[in-house]
Amino acid sequence: MGSSVRDVVYDHLRRKGIPESEIPAQFDDVVKVLNESFGGSARVIVYKTLVELYQQYSMRVDFTYQESLRDHMSMLRERVVVDHILPRRVQREDPSLEGRLPFVQSIVTSSSR
């Protein structure tokens, strides 16, 4: 999504009581608000957002526009929590994470003792 579309969506959600920081936690509410406001076009916004999230977590996008987007959001959330996956932007912004994940590093260090 372009920055202007993103800004409009964030502003609209904020006016409906969903701040940007709460979007992941209130995913179902976000979808509901977008559907009420944008009708069928909301599905495109949700799909594009999920694709971007999957790419940020370096996960393969193996679903289509027609599949259950809620299920794919749940699967992504579960993978992130269970596998301790960090988004690319966090890895780039924190030099101590360059080329490795701290969780993986701690496992390697503790098992070699």
Mean predicted confidence (pLDDT) in 59-63: 86
- How does DSSP classify residue 77? H
pLDDT attached to residue 63? 85
Contact 91, 73 (CB under 8 A): no
Is the pLDDT at 89 greater than 90? The verdict is no
pLDDT band at 111 (very low <50, low <70, confident <90, very high): very low
Q: Looking up tokens 């920081």, which residue turns up?
A: 21
Contact 110, 104 (CB under 8 A): no
pLDDT attached to residue 92? 56
pLDDT band at 76 (very low <50, low <70, confident <90, very high): confident
Domain residue limits, the chain: 3-87
Percentage of the chain beyond pLDDT 70 is: 75
pLDDT attached to residue 77? 84
User: Higher confidence at residue 16 or residue 92?
Assistant: 16
Distance CA 57, CA 79 (A): 10
pLDDT attached to residue 17? 95
pLDDT band at 78 (very low <50, low <70, confident <90, very high): confident
Contacts of 67 (CB under 8 A, 6+ apart): none
